[in-house]
Amino acid sequence: MFRLKYCLLYTLFFIGFFLTARSQETRRIDKSWEFLKSDLGGIWEAVRPVGKGNPEAVPIWQQVDLPHCFNATDGVDPDVNYYQGPGWYRKNIKVDNPYQNGRTRLHFEGVGQKTEVYVYTTKVAEHIGGYDEWVVDITDAVKTFTANPICEKQFHGQVPIIVRADNSRDLEMIPSDLSDFNLYGGIYRHLNLQYIPQASIDRVFTKVSVDPQGKEGSLHISTRFLRDGGSRNLKVDIRLLDPQGEQVAQFEKEVSTQIKEIDLACLNVKKPILWSPAQPSLYKLIVTAKTGMDSCTVEEKIGFRHFEFKKKGPFYLNGERLLLRGTHRHEDHAGVGAAMTDSMILKEMQLMKEMGVNFIRLGHYQQSRVVLNACDSLGMLVWEEIPWCRGGLGGEQYQAQARQMLTNMIEQHYNHPSIIIWGLGNENDWPGDFSVFDKEKIRAFMKELNDLSHRLDPSRKTAIRRCDFCKDIVDVYSPSIWAGWYRGLYTDYKQASEEEMKKVNHFLHVEWGGDSHARRHAENPDKALAKITTGDGVDERAGDASLYGGAARVSKDGDWSESYICNLIDWHLKEQENMPWLTGTAYWPFKDFSTPVRPDNPVPYVNQKGVVERNLNKKEAYYVFQSYWVKKPMVRIYGHTWPTRWGEPNEEKMIKVYSNAEEVELFVNGKSMGIKKRNVQDFPAAGLRWMVRLREGENHFKAVAKNGKEMVSDELRQNYLTAKWDKPVRMNLQEVDREGDIVTLQADLLDAKGVLCLDAQNWLHFSAVGDGSLIDNQGTSDGSRKVQAYNGRAMIKVRLAKGKCVASVQSEGMETTFVNLQ
């Protein structure tokens, strides 16, 4: 009864407080911007009065909402280099700051890559760096402009905000344009308008620690205030709520804003509820600074966890070994480029969690706060890094940017319990941007960044990937091991990893895997391995990523099938289960992404190593990971995107089933093929494979998986072709699906007898004219107008308007084929 009464009084008190006090305001101003994809002759062109039909009406601006990326489609356009240059944004906003002597700010969550900000014709800020957050104080510029008669006469009391975003090539900027990802342009994350009182909190830092057994936790809280040119005393209220929302600590402290950074408290928490991937329990810290009737509140989610990298041994979290089962992500998505919506991001992160991911490396730059919040709440440990990636080492401006981006990343994401590693660089052994490549200077600067990281945050580790001459500088190192793709065989993986582990104190293998062209499958996927020379290491070297020249390698000589990549992943995961010293690994990457340095890939300008496509459609490899990494029962018959297999009459074919169940029974055309027990060391498919004679035409498969009384099943239908085919000489283009105004077309490659050429990999070019348009430049297997065939076919979607549309497909050496749509 006392507890209920106390809670009611507490609630009433705070209701009364918020009715009388004024707290800071933040609102998104994402809607209704105008955009111009080019440069202007000067800022006046963005604000001059324009009469309808007058010459001043050009250039023509387009209406957009934020987040917006001006490389949303051209990043994967097969026929052009993606646009690198300036783009302009403008919007008139109403500014009505409620605070006497308060400040008005613009909070940018991410703009690529260099930015200028104007209020009317006054430049108020510049920023270099496409990935960190930053704030522009526009108070004085707004005051000056609103006093100008033009404010009312031309802008009706609103304030024109103009932003120039520029992703032009620049050797004295990180990341390098040699990087294997697009340097996107645009205001591609949210933009916020902030009103804050004169005395405000800039940032709250929480240093959370707990002993390995989780018995004693401590929370050190410090804050930084914004300088306003004066000195005043503030009352600061601190509250800590546990994961159930119960208050576990509360007190007030009076501080002076004359001191920029202040230690507020050090709290002891007995038996804290620990944060882990299995139970990502988050406490809430609420810090409120009050002066007079004004207040400023900052809320932070924190977690109590203890982690440790054992020397030449595994990773421990909260006193227990945890095998880091990881992947990577780029801020990139079909149709929007870097401008992913919050719902897109959360869907992607949820798919990772459902695949069994407990660790993620955010490559190769600071990512959205939405991503980090998702990692906290879903339970994914994080390696986040700055974009010092490839090219060498530039001059002072270049180095200053790297220092600032490291500082910003650490300060802005300091409180996230998911983060365990700050990454300092990637592939810094890769030259090309400067005439001199000086390893000693790179080492010296790496040492400087390493020291800076430890000064800013002694509680977390530092790391780099692939720069052997710097591996002794950082705490955790990942060498380049691409067994079975860029070098060697995938069976070389375990030995190569063990050899590399012995060279450093803390080994963590990030980046492994290989490319797969979605919907391409193979009857003999490992045949390219016969060409590979072994004993020459498995590290990627200069030129290995090229599709031309050099030694035999699967990346150049393989078939890029999903079948092969599933085998490669299956082998790696099998081995990782039997490496007791392993900290963990991270597969590269989770999702296909755009890149300017791979124009000749089966989907041009796309790195196709993902286990999902660029639109989040799952490839078969997704289920291989699930079979090893998740506890919820699952089963998947390999080949749901493989409509037709081929072979000899009565030839036995392997049917693979990926499952985490104890046993699986396979039925083919209604007949049981027997029950198999899962054995993780029985490659492939952990022993869940059957040799089956298929009948000509359609075959029906059903797999029933059992874990005790739990049972799940999967079914698919698949054709079997025994007819022989010659080289393709013609194409057939037909409609295979229609949903509303979206038509899916499929082009088939046929030989002279009309037999489907199931191993054909010809390039196909789609087009459409009339009352319809291709849905292309998506960077997916069915969303590119230029694409390599997968098993003798390729697909594209067309959006129809009222009327008639003619779609066509071309391929070298064959007659163009047309289809009428309406």
Tokens of 477: 């190192």
Q: Are 96 and 216 in contact (CB under 8 A)?
A: no
Nearest to 614 by CA among 484, 752, 518, 710: 518
| Interhelix angle 562-576/493-501, nearest 10 degrees | 50
State how far the Cα of 304 lies from the Cα of 273, in Å rounded to an integer: 7
Give how far Cα 53 sits from Cα of 57, 59, 226, 257, Å. Answer: 7, 12, 47, 54
Phi-psi category of residue 537: left, alpha or beta, with phi > 0 → left and psi -120 to 50 → alpha: left
Nearest to 473 by CA among 452, 492, 459: 452
DSSP state, residue 275: B
| Burial annotation 778-801 (CB, 10 A radius, 16+ → b, else e) | bbbbbbbbbbbbbbbbbbbbbebe
| Interhelix angle 562-576/621-629, nearest 10 degrees | 20
Tokens of 132: 């960190």
Task: State whether residue 501 is helix, strand or coil.
Answer: helix
Residues whose CB is less than 8 angstroms from the CB of residue 57 and which lie 6 or more positions away in sequence, other chains included: 50, 51
State how far the Cα of 108 lies from the Cα of 193, in Å rounded to an integer: 9
Residue 636: beta bridge partners? 658
Q: Are 110 and 130 in contact (CB under 8 A)?
A: yes
Q: Are 720 and 649 in contact (CB under 8 A)?
A: no
DSSP state, residue 491: G
Give how far Cα 13 sits from Cα of 5, 21, 330, 754, Å. Answer: 12, 12, 46, 81
| Interhelix angle 342-355/369-378, nearest 10 degrees | 30
State how far the Cα of 784 lies from the Cα of 797, in Å rounded to an integer: 9
State how far the Cα of 700 lies from the Cα of 668, in Å rounded to an integer: 6
Give how far Cα 604 sits from Cα of 114, 179, 793, Å. Answer: 27, 16, 17
Tokens of 547: 């599709």
- Is position 665 annotated as part of the catalytic site? no
Q: Pseudo-torsion of CA 49, 50, 54, 57, nearest 10°?
A: 120
Q: Are 212 and 319 in contact (CB under 8 A)?
A: yes
N-to-C CA span, the chain: 71
State how far the Cα of 268 lies from the Cα of 284, in Å rounded to an integer: 15
In the sheet that holds 233-241, the strands lie side by side as: 22-23, 294-302, 283-291, 233-241, 247-256
Q: Are 742 and 799 in contact (CB under 8 A)?
A: yes
In the set 300, 427, 500, 613, the catalytic residue is 427
Q: Are 7 and 247 in contact (CB under 8 A)?
A: no
State how far the Cα of 744 lies from the Cα of 775, in Å rounded to an integer: 10
Burial of 773 (0-12, 13-18, 19+ CB in 10 A): middle
Burial of 650 (0-12, 13-18, 19+ CB in 10 A): exposed
Nearest to 718 by CA among 702, 734, 731: 702
Tokens of 570: 């299956």
- Supply the residues annotated as catalytic: 427
